[in-house]
Amino acid sequence: MTENASKKAKLGGPPVFANRCSAVLGLQWGDEGKGKLVDILANSMDIVARCAGGNNAGHTVVVPKDGKDYKYDFHLLPSGVTHESCTNVIGNGLVVNVPELFKEIEHNKELGPHIEGCESRLKVSDRAHMVLNIHKVVDGMKEDQRGVDKIGTTKKGIGPTYSSKATRNGVRICDLLGNWDAFEAKVRALYEQYNRLFPSLEANAEDDIEPHKQLVEKIRPLVCDTFVVMQDALAANKSILIEGANATMLDLDFGTYPYVTSSSCSIGGALTGLGLPPQSIGEVYGVVKAYTTRVGDGEFPTEELGDVGAALQKVGHEYGTTTGRARRCGWLDVVVVRYSCKINGVASICLTKLDVLDGLDEVKIGVSYKNGDALYEYSMPSSQKEMSECEVEYITLPGWKTPITDVRKFEDLPENAQKYVEKVEELCGVPIRWIGVGPSRDATVQLF
């Protein structure tokens, strides 16, 4: 054996992890119900970690206690925060609005008892970039300037913050906790740049400097190098759940660009957003609504603009957790789901809100797109123009016209509901592991 070969044998190959991370990712345009699945799985997890996005995300979690359901709204907080035994990580891939983080904590404390003391189990990355007030102002201004070509941004400042990160003039959490004069200089420089780019802006750096000065010592105990937290947890064989935000069809690279978010919300973002090696990823769980919704503008091939879309919106309470905007609704699109499953290597699916279809006489599933000679079954057109020219091919199944909210076993579902689930599973080529039949934690059918 040569000296180099001997050295390589002694050091070993890539790391092997006895207990790999699980991940929960949305496979449509967001709002699939990821928070509910994370809440269910978090009970057996040591760590729940967010990896991308900011407070543009909105996860609703309904938690029972003493015969009462408590409804929480999370935007930056990981959905595992309701579990006292679980450490919750806000990773380096997020952009953090510090004042809004503390408002979110206080707001959810008012909603129920599960959030009390959550600060002691919350870790915020010192590498995460900060969403400043100037980012929010610029976000709204740029969106208004687009006129009829609006993207549908939440105007939370997420895109401009990621832009600052990419152009290397962003402000990070570690800057906030470092030398104050240096932090203040960075903030003022950012304001000066934006004021040059947008002369009508008239923004004042004091709008950010003073509020953050009041929060330095409040956030300090929460901040750490979350890369070390994650690596130590892997080394100790801790159970880790990665909570995705937004969804694959909003991914900056693979989504319906430009009507997307500003971060990588597919599985690749979990690695870069938390500092994890590829070998550490185990099961990827994809969350899919039993129909399709999206907020904001952009192509939506299976959208229903008539009575069906209105019924889905009403029965499904389809209004955004973050913005309150009405969601556009349509039939399930398995082209989208197949595409997202392949990108993320999905092992099993959580099919949510099946109960919303209870009152329909028939249900449709979009199974492919056609555009001239082009056929799309598991890939997506890259341009919005081409997608707008596609015709969707549907199959139609009979409805079940029976309430299913109290069902907890698959065999107790109405026959037509079972057939719908089985057909979705067949079309997607990925097993369905959970079925959501209501908003609360226990309104779930687990198949395996």
Please identify every residue annotated as catalytic.
31, 59
Closest CA to 105 of 89, 119, 126, 87: 119
Structure tokens at 83: 């579990």
Distance CA 90, CA 281 (A): 18
Cβ neighbours of 85 (radius 10 Å): 11
Which helix (DSSP H) or strand (DSSP E) does residue 270 occupy? helix 267-272
344 φ, ψ (degrees, to nearest 5):
-100, -5
Distance CA 382, CA 279 (A): 30
Distance CA 279, CA 117 (A): 34
Distance CA 16, CA 234 (A): 10
What are 376's strand-pairing partners? 369
Q: To the nearest 5 percent, what fractions of the chain are helix, strand and coil?
A: 40, 20, 40
**Which residue type does 110 have?**
E
Closest CA to 39 of 264, 228, 212, 287: 287
Structure tokens at 97: 């609005």
User: Three-class SS of residue 321?
Assistant: coil
Distance CA 248, CA 335 (A): 13
CA 356 remoteness from chain centre: 22
- Tell me if 246 sits within 8 A of 24, measured CB to CB: no
| C-alpha distances in Å from residue 120, one per residue of 44, 87, 145, 315, 412 | 19, 9, 43, 38, 42
Cα dihedral 387→390→393→396 (10° resolution):
60
